[in-house]
Amino acid sequence: MTVQATVEKVPKLKMVRIYIMGREYLVPEGLTILKAMEYAGYRMIRGVGCRAGFCGACSTVYRLKDDYRLYTALACQTTVQDGMYLVQLPFVPAKKPRYDIEKLKPDFSTILMHFPEVTRCVQCNTCTKVCPQEVEVMDAIQAILRGDIETAAHLTFDCIACGICSMRCPAEIVHYHVFQMVRRLYGKYIAKKSKHLEERIKEIEEGKFREEMDRLVRAGPEEWKKLYAQREIEPD
Amino acid sequence: MITKISSDLAKKVFQISGQNVYVCYQCGKCSAGCPVATEMDLLPNQVLHLVQLGDERVLECKSIWICAACFTCSVRCPRDIDLAKVMEALRLIILRKGIYKLDLRKIENIEIYPQIAVIAAARKLTG
Amino acid sequence: MKVLYFPGCSLKNYAPAYEKSALHVAKKLGIELIELKRWNCCGVVYGLASDSVFHQIAAVRNLIRAQEQIHESGNEKLVTLCSMCYQVLASANHRLSKDPAALETLNKFMDEEEDYLGTIEVMHFVQLLRDYIGFEKIKEYVERPLKDIRVAPYYGCMLVRPKEVAIDDPEEPSILETLIESLGGVPVESPFRTECCGSYNVVVNKDVVKTRVFRIVRPLLRNSADLIITVCPLCAFNLDYGMKLASRDLHGRKIPVIYFTELMAYAFGLDNALEKETLNIFNNLMK
C-alpha cells in the first residue's frame, strides 16, 4: 500500500539583488536594509540601534537601478529594492556642545553665541529633502534665525539626530545640536509649567505620603496581592 | 609675494561679474565717493587698475574685505562699471577656494548683534 | 488696502518697536499689512555674482511664498520694513526679469516649490506711503504736529542704490524730508545722509563703523538735530553702536535714533504704538 503524502508547496521567496559595500548579494524581497544585511551575514555592531526608526543610528546612503541620484534613509525603515547599491554611515562625528542650561537665556542671542553658523543658511532646503523623519528642517532653522524658539521646538519634535542633514549642509550647520538646545530652552523656559506637578513634588518633600509608603513597603506579598486585586480601575 | 602678471585675472573677473574692467579710465570718482576708502590699503580705482594689469597681488589686499557693498562707486562711475560686482568677483575668487575670511565662532560679544549684521558678515566673508 | 508684508529676520527680536509702530501707522492709514507665512531670512546682502544663482535662492524662495499668497491680499505687492530686505528682494526680482536662464535654473533647483513667475512687486513701506497714499493725505492724519522738532533723515545705502531698484534719487533723495515736513517737523540738513554706515563691518572691523558714524553724525550735531530717523534695523544698530564707539570724539554727545514709523506714530497720536522710552523722548522734545 502506498501512502500518497501531499506536501504543500512552499512559496518560493522572491529574491532581489543588492550591493552592500560593493559586494553583490541576493536577499529576499520585502526585508528592510538592516535585515537584509544580517541575512547576507553581516553582524551589526555599529550603525544599528532601536531598529524602530527612532534612534537615528542606521543612516544609509544608496542609489537605485537606472538612477544616478544618491538617496539617504534609515536602514531599519527602508525595504530593499532590486539593484540597490548601499553603504552605511556608522555615525556622524559632530562635536557635542557643552553648556549649562541654567545659565542660558531663551532667545536668539543664546543660539548666536553657541551656533553662529546658523546665519550661513542659504535656504537651499537640502536638509528638509533628505530628512528620514520628514521634519521641516529648513523651516526650523529659519524660525530659530527669527528668534522664534517655540515654533522651532515644535517643528523639530520628531528629529532623531541621525545627522544626514548635517552631512549635506553647505553651510556646515549641525542641525540636531541646535535643535536639541532649542527644545531644552523651550521646555525649561517657555513651555507652560504644570502646576499640579510642582504641588505634588512639594507634598512628597513635605512627607505627606511617607507613612503610607512605609506601610506599603512593610506589608509583604500577601497584602500586596490583595491590594492589587482590589485596586480601583478606571472605567473604559 | 606673488608677482604673476596675467590677463587671466581680468577674464576671470569678467566671468564672475560680467564687468569689463578695461573700460575704466581711472577717473577716481569711485575712490572719492567710497565711504570706507580711508580704511582701505588699496583704493577702489587702484584695485581696478591692478585687475586691468592682471596683477594677482590684488587678491591679497584688505580693501576687498572692507568693501561694504554700498554701491556708491557703481552709481557714480561715468563708464557704468559696476565696481561693487568687481569687488565681489575678487572676493569670490578666494572664497570659492574654500578659504574663509571670518571665523564665526571667534566673534567677540556676538550676542549683542542683531541677526542681520552677522548674517551679512557671514555671507560676504565666508561665501 | 491689503498688502503682503515681509518682516525680515531682525524685526521680531531686535526691532519690535519698528514693527509695532509700522503696523499701527498702517492701520490708521487703512492699510492692512498681512504677514507672509513661512517666510525666511532674505539673505541680507545681495549676491553679486553673475555666474551663480546660489545666493539668490533665499530671496526667490520668499518671492515664491508671496506668489503663493497673493489671494490673501488681492494684489502682487510685497512690502518690507527693512531696506536691506528691500534691496535684496528687489534686486533678485530685477535680475531674474533680465536673465531668464537664471530664473529657469532656480525654478528647476527648487523643485519642491512652485515656479516663480517674476510678477511680484517689491516695495519698501516708505515707498508704499509715497506712491499709494501720498504725503498730502498723510498730513490729514496728523493729530499732533511735530512743533518744529528738528529731524535728520538717514537713508543709508540700500534704499537709493543700486540705480535699478532705487526708490529715489541716489545723490539727492527727498522722500524722507517730505515725510518729515508733512508731519510738522523740520528736516535737518544732513550732508552724509546717503553714506553707508559700514554695514557688516561692525562685526569684524568696528573702527570702520566708528569712523563712518562719526562723519555722519558730526554735522547733525552741528545742525542741532533732535532726532535721526532710519529705514533699516542695521543702520539703526550701527548708528547707535557707532555713536557709543565714537563717544569720545563726539564729546559724549548723542542723538536718539528712531524708526520713521515711530515718528509717524507719534504725530498720528498713536501713543500705544510706541515704546515708553521713545514716547518720553518725544514728549521731552515737544516741551
Q: Is the pLDDT of residue A7 over 80?
A: no
If we measure between CA atoms, which residue out of B43, A144, B115 comes closest to residue C45? B115
Decide: pTM greater than 0.90: no
- C236-242 average pLDDT score: 93
Strands (E), chain C: 2-6, 32-35, 77-80, 121-124, 150-153, 186-187, 227-230, 257-259
- Exposed/middle/buried for A202, CB within 10 Å: 0-12, 13-18, 19+? exposed
Residue A110, C-beta contacts closer than 8 angstroms, at least 6 positions apart: A104, A181, A185, B111
Best residue of A146, A149, A150, A154 to probe chain C, by most C CBs closer than 10 Å? A146
Q: Find the Cα–Cα–Cα–Cα dihedral C159, C160, C166, C167, rounded to 10°.
A: 70
pLDDT in tens, C208-219: 999 999 999 999
Q: How far apart are alpha carbons C124 and C159 in whole angstroms?
A: 8
CA contacts within 13 A on the Cβ side of C31 = 23
Q: How far apart are alpha carbons A159 and A163 in whole angstroms?
A: 10
Architecture of domain C2-126: Up-down Bundle (1.20)
A190 Cβ under 8 Å from any chain C Cβ: no
Least Cα separation, residue C10 to chain B (angstroms):
6
Residues 94-113 of B with CB under 8 A from A: 104-105, 107, 110-113
Distance of CA B10 to the CA centre of its chain: 14
At B1, the pLDDT band (50, 70, 90 cuts) reads very low
Best residue of A112, A119, A120, A123 to probe chain C, by most C CBs closer than 10 Å? A123
Tell me what pLDDT residue B105 has. Answer: 87
> A23-28 and A59-63: which strand pairing?
unpaired
ipTM of this complex prediction, to 2 decimal places: 0.88
Percentage of chain B modeled with pLDDT above 70: 95
Q: Are C13 and A110 in contact (CB under 8 A)?
A: no
Name the amino acid, one letter, at A201.
I
Partners of A63 in beta bridges: A85
pLDDT in tens, A20-38: 999 999 999 999 999 999 9
Ordered by start, the domain boundaries in chain B are 8-96, 100-127
Instruction: Mark residue C148 as left, alpha or beta (left: phi above 0; alpha: psi -120 to 50; beta: remaining).
Output: left
Average pLDDT of the residues of chain B:
89
The Cα angle at residue B41 between residues C156 and B80, in degrees rounded to 5: 55
Tell me what pLDDT residue B5 has. Answer: 52
Grid look-up 530664473 returns: C103
Tell me what pLDDT residue C146 has. Answer: 86
Q: Are B54 and B9 in contact (CB under 8 A)?
A: yes
Q: Are B33 and B76 in contact (CB under 8 A)?
A: yes
pLDDT in tens, A104-123: 988 888 999 999 999 999 99
- C246-273 average pLDDT score: 91
Q: How far apart are alpha carbons B7 and A219 in whole angstroms?
A: 94
At A92, the pLDDT band (50, 70, 90 cuts) reads confident
Judge if the upstream peptide bond of residue C162 is cis by omega within 30 degrees of 0. yes
Average pLDDT of the residues of chain A:
90
Three-state secondary structure along C3-64?
A: EEEECCCCCCCCCHHHHHHHHHHHHHCCCEEEECCCCCCCCCCCCCCCCCCHHHHHHHHHHH
- Residue C172 DSSP symbol: S
At B7, the pLDDT band (50, 70, 90 cuts) reads confident
Contact criterion met (CB < 8 Å) for A145 and B111: no
- A101-106 average pLDDT score: 90
> A71-74 and C2-6: which strand pairing?
unpaired
- Residue C224 DSSP symbol: T
Average pLDDT of the residues of chain C:
91
What single string gives the DSSP state of each residue in B34-53? Answer: -TTGGG-SS-HHHHHHHHHH
Distance of CA A147 to the CA centre of its chain: 25
If we measure between CA atoms, which residue out of B71, B123, B50, B55 comes closest to residue B92? B123
Tell me what pLDDT residue C89 has. Answer: 94
CATH 3.40.50.11810 residue ranges of chain C are 142-286
Partners of C230 in beta bridges: C259
If we measure between CA atoms, which residue out of A149, A152, A148 comes closest to residue A138? A152
Residue C205, C-beta contacts closer than 8 angstroms, at least 6 positions apart: B39, B66, C198
Among chain C residues, the shortest Cα distance to A170 is held by C54
Contact criterion met (CB < 8 Å) for B111 and A109: yes
The Cα angle at residue A43 between residues A38 and A49, in degrees rounded to 5: 85
CATH fold for the domain made of B8-96: Fumarate Reductase Iron-sulfur Protein; Chain B, domain 2 (1.10.1060)
- The helix (H) or strand (E) run that includes residue A18 is strand A15-20
Partners of A79 in beta bridges: A32
Distance of CA C233 to the CA centre of its chain: 7
Grid look-up 532590486 returns: A82
Q: List the grid coordinates of C151.
A: 529731524
From chain C, the residues in CB contact with B66 under 8 A are 201, 205, 208
Other beta carbons less than 10 A from residue C113's beta carbon: 16
- C197-202 average pLDDT score: 89
Contact criterion met (CB < 8 Å) for A120 and B123: yes
From chain A, the residues in CB contact with B126 under 8 A are 120
- Delineate the domains of chain A, giving CATH numbers in brackets: 15-88 (3.10.20.740), 101-190 (1.10.1060.10), 195-223 (no CATH)
- Residue A6 DSSP symbol: P
- Residue A187 DSSP symbol: I
Least Cα separation, residue A189 to chain B (angstroms):
19
Name the amino acid, one letter, at A10.
V
If we measure between CA atoms, which residue out of C85, C95, C94 comes closest to residue C53? C95
CATH 1.20.1050.140 residue ranges of chain C are 2-126
Q: Are C215 and C142 in contact (CB under 8 A)?
A: no
pLDDT in tens, B12-55: 999 999 999 899 999 999 999 999 998 899 999 999 999 999 88
Residue A4, C-beta contacts closer than 8 angstroms, at least 6 positions apart: none
Q: How far apart are alpha carbons A127 and A168 in whole angstroms?
A: 7
Tell me what pLDDT residue B3 has. Answer: 46
Contact criterion met (CB < 8 Å) for A123 and C61: yes
Contact criterion met (CB < 8 Å) for B107 and A116: yes
CATH classification of C142-286 is 3.40.50.150, yes or no? no
pLDDT in tens, C16-55: 999 999 999 999 999 999 999 999 999 888 888 888 889 8
Q: Are A182 and A152 in contact (CB under 8 A)?
A: yes
